[in-house]
Amino acid sequence: MELDEVTISRAILATQMETMTEYLELDVAVVGGGPSGITCAALLAENGLKVGLIEKKLSIGGGMWGGGMMFPRIVVQDGAKRLLDHFGIASTEFEPGYHVAKSVEAVSKLTAAACTAGAEFFNLIAVEDVVVKGDGRVSGLVVNWSPVEMAGLHVDPLTIRCRAVVDATGHDATISHMVARKGADLTIKGEGYMWAERAESRIVDHTREVFPGLWVCGMAANAVAGECRMGPIFGGMLLSGERAAALVAAALRS
């Protein structure tokens, strides 16, 4: 077979444009491809929901890739190890209650699980704004290519319609800040000092609907609540993503 460069280009354009057109309307938009966002997207897709994960960077995985200070290992506590097992991520027990996993394997298997479940990934796409209409709910996202934002170009965005949005944008809580700046009754307290025990024990409780149609998970949840940060222990991230998926799925079924 003789390879044709234009056929290769046409294949990429045709299939991706078909997918992007199909996903202009979806059940849940998860913004942020870190560990909590991927976990949330994977579990929502496993529940049969149409899920799109939007990530502004080229790579998926957030801070999990680098482990702690570029040592590619993460730690997960007892309560979250079942999620490592659920996604087939190998781990070893370092001391009682402390389970160590490889960062690259963790990101890869979480991402693969989300893809297998049916979630679609849209990387290099930034969210510029949210859609809120007469019912007062977040019902869509305004998106553009990340390089457009980085270059400061004046290029009009496009819009995605969705039934729910999950802010999994990490420390910045980007989507929550967008809503708050528009005058919504939403206070973002900002994350506190490093205190792993407190941050890990409270993050699931902070995972909630903070504005009609908008849920927060992962470090975005702690940032909104004014909670501490925890460093390279990732059990809370996984558990928060799981909690967000359960809350969103229940809300969409009601």
* Residue 81, token pair as written in the block: 């190890």
Q: Is 127 annotated as a binding residue?
A: yes
Pick from 99, 98, 143, 110: nearest CA to 124: 143
DSSP E strand boundaries for 146-235? 158-167, 208-211, 214-216
Nearest Cα to Cα of residue 68 among 194, 192, 204:
194
Q: Tell me if 171 is assigned to a ligand binding site.
A: yes
Rg (CA), the chain: 18
Q: What angle do CA 191, 166, 158 make, to 5 degrees?
A: 115
Find out whether 109 is annotated in a ligand binding site.
Answer: no
The verdict on whether residue 36 carries a ligand-binding annotation is yes
Does the annotation list 95 as a binding residue? no
Residues 241, 193: Cα–Cα separation, whole Å: 22
Q: Is residue 108 a known part of a binding site?
A: no
* Beta partners for residue 121, in sequence order: 53
Residue 208 assigned ligand-binding role: no
3-state SS record for 60-120: CCHHHCCCECCECEEEEEHHHHHHHHHCCCCCEEEECCEEEEEHHHHHHHHHHHHHHHCCE
Tell me if 229 is assigned to a ligand binding site. yes
Instruction: Consult the annotation and say whether 163 binds a ligand.
Output: no
Annotated binding site for glycine: 229
Annotated binding site for Fe cation: 156, 171
Annotated binding site: 36, 55-56, 63, 127, 154-156, 171, 219, 229
Annotated binding site for NAD(+): 36, 55-56, 63, 127, 154-156, 219
